[in-house]
C-alpha cells in the first residue's frame, strides 16, 4: 500500500515518510494536507481505515480527530464574536445565567476558551455515556464550583470544553453546536467536517486504534488535584469513539469527524485573514483575539508547560520545540492529530490518523511530518 493524492515536488520526502510509516505499520491510516494562500501544496492519504486492513483509507475517509475538534468549536465561537453576538470578555453567565453558581459568576468566555475557567471536568460520579446527554452534562457543569481560581492558570478542559462553549452557542443562536458548525462553517466553506457523525457517514469512518494507557500514575498524585479530577471525570475510553453512540453525540471537545484536507481548508480562514474563496468568516480584529495570551504555565491538568491564547494554543518551545516560536496558533488531538495556522505566511498544515500514538500532546509522527513540511518550504 502506498500513499495516494498529490504533493508539490518539494514535499517528496514528506510523501516518502508517510509511505514508510504506512508500510512499516507505524501508521495504520493517515492523511496530511498543506494549504498555502489557497493553493493545496499537499493532499496525501494512505493506509487502511480498519484494523483488519480490509478497507483502504480513501480520499473521502473521515476519522474522529479527538481534541482537534476544539479548534472547530473555537472557530465557531469566533464567528459569534465577529457577529457581535458574544464578547470574550463577558461572563459566561451573561449568556447562560444558571452558570453563575458556586463561585463561577466571574468566569469569562475567554477563560473557557483558554482552559483557565477552573471547570476542567465533571465532578464524579460521571461516565463517558453521560457526556452524550446534553441536558444532563451541561446542567452538571452549571452546578459545579471551580477547581482553582478562574483566570489564574490553565488546566486543560480535556473533555468538557465543547459542552461549556456549545451551551453558549445554543443559548445565543438557538442551535446546537453541531448544527451551527454544519450551517455556518462546513456548509459555506464546502468542507467535509462535522461535530459527531450521522448514519450516512458510518461506512467511511476510519476505525480508531486506542493508544497505550496514559502515562499517569494516579496513586502518585493528589486525587483532589485538577489533573486527577479532570482525567477521572470521566475516565477516557478511546474505544468509545468506534461506537454509534459516540458518533451521534454533540461533543465539541472530542468527536469532530473530518479529514486533513477539510481541516486545512477550514483553518486557512485564520491563516488567510478571515476569508476563503469569497466566504468571509472573520475579520483581522477577531483573528487578533486568538493571539491575546491568556496563560503561560505548567498546565494544571497536563503537567507540561503550555501557552494559550483565546481558543488556541500558542507556541511553547519547552513542550513542542518543532513548532516555531512565531505568530502561530494550533492545537491537536489525543493520539497525534494536529492542525497549525501561520497567519503571517498564509500557511495551514493538518495531519490526522486512526492509529493513536502514546501521550496526549502531539506525537513523534506528527512532529516528524511537521518538521518535514517546514523543511520543504524553507
C-alpha grid cell for residue 255? 468527536
102: pLDDT strictly greater than 90: yes
Phi (first) and psi of residue 369, to 5 degrees: -65, -45
C-alpha grid cell for residue 77? 465561537
Question: Per-residue pLDDT tens for 53-66?
Answer: 999 999 999 999 99
226: pLDDT strictly greater than 80: yes
Give pLDDT, residue 214.
73
Mean of the per-residue pLDDT values of the chain: 97
Instruction: Please state the rounded mean pLDDT for residues 132-142.
Output: 98
Give pLDDT, residue 213.
83
Instruction: Please state the rounded mean pLDDT for residues 369-374.
Output: 98
Give pLDDT, residue 361.
86
Phi (first) and psi of residue 347, to 5 degrees: -120, 140
pLDDT band, residue 39 (cuts 50/70/90): very high
H-helix or E-strand spanning residue 17: helix 12-24
Give pLDDT, residue 1.
56
The pTM (predicted TM-score) of the whole model is: 0.98
**Which residue(s) pair with 332 in the sheet?**
338
Among 54, 82, 75, 89, residue whose Cα is nearest residue 292? 89
**Architecture of the domain delimited by 4-377:** 3-Layer(aba) Sandwich (3.40)
Domain residue spans in the chain?
Answer: 4-377
According to the 3-state scheme, what is the secondary structure of 332-364? ECCCCCEEEEECCCCEEEEEEECECCCCCCCCH
Q: Are 87 and 109 in contact (CB under 8 A)?
A: yes
pLDDT band, residue 360 (cuts 50/70/90): confident
Q: Are 64 and 241 in contact (CB under 8 A)?
A: yes
105: pLDDT strictly greater than 60: yes
- The string of DSSP letters for 290-338 reads HTS--EEEE-TTT-SEEEE-SSSB---TTT-TTS-SSS-EEEE-TTS-E
Amino acid at each position: 500500500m502506498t500513499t495516494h493524492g498529490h504533493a508539490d515536488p518539494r514535499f517528496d520526502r514528506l510523501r516518502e515518510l508517510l509511505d514508510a510509516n504506512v508500510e512499516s505499520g507505524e501508521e495504520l491510516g493517515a492523511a496530511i494536507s498543506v494549504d498555502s494562500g489557497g493553493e493545496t501544496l499537499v493532499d496525501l492519504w494512505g493506509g487502511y481505515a480498519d484494523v483488519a486492513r480490509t478497507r483502504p483509507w480513501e480520499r473521502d475517509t473521515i476519522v474522529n480527530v479527538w481534541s482537534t475538534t476544539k479548534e472547530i468549536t473555537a472557530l465557531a465561537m469566533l464567528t459569534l464574536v465577529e457577529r457581535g453576538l458574544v464578547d470574550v470578555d463577558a461572563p459566561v453567565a451573561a449568556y447562560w445565567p444558571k452558570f453563575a453558581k458556586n463561585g463561577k459568576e466571574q468566569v469569562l468566555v475567554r477563560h473557557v476558551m483558554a482552559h483557565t475557567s477552573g471547570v476542567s471536568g465533571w465532578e464524579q460520579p460521571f461516565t463517558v455515556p453521560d457526556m452524550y446527554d446534553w441536558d444532563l452534562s451541561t446542567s452538571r457543569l452549571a452546578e459545579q464550583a471551580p477547581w482553582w481560581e478562574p483566570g489564574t492558570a490553565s488546566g486543560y478542559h480535556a473533555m468538557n470544553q465543547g459542552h461549556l462553549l456549545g451551551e453558549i452557542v445554543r443559548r445565543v443562536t438557538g442551535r446546537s453546536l453541531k448544527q451551527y458548525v454544519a450551517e455556518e462553517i462546513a456548509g459555506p466553506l464546502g468542507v467535509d467536517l462535522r461535530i459527531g457523525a450521522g448514519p450516512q457517514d458510518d461506512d467511511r469512518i476510519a476505525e480508531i486504534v486506542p493508544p497505550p494507557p496514559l502515562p499517569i500514575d494516579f496513586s502518585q498524585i493528589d486525587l483532589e488535584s485538577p489533573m486527577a479530577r479532570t482525567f477521572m471525570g470521566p475516565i477516557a475510553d478511546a474505544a468509545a469513539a468506534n461506537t454509534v453512540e459516540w458518533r451521534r453525540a454533540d461533543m465539541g471537545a472530542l468527536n469532530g469527524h473530518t479529514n486533513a484536507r477539510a481541516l486545512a481548508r477550514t483553518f486557512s480562514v485564520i491563516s488567510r485573514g478571515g476569508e476563503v474563496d469569497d466566504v468571509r468568516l472573520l475579520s483581522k480584529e477577531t483573528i487578533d483575539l486568538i493571539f491575546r495570551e491568556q496563560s503561560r504555565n505548567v498546565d494544571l491538568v497536563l503537567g507540561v508547560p503550555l501557552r494559550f491564547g483565546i481558543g488556541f494554543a500558542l507556541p511553547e518551545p519547552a513542550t513542542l520545540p518543532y513548532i516555531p516560536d512565531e505568530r502561530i496558533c494550533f492545537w491537536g488531538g489525543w493520539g497525534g492529530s494536529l492542525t497549525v495556522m501561520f497567519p503571517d505566511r498564509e500557511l495551514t498544515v493538518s495531519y490526522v490518523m486512526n492509529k493513536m500514538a502514546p501521550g496526549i500532546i502531539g506525537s513523534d509522527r506528527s512532529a516528524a511530518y511537521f518538521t518535514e513540511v517546514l523543511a520543504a518550504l524553507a
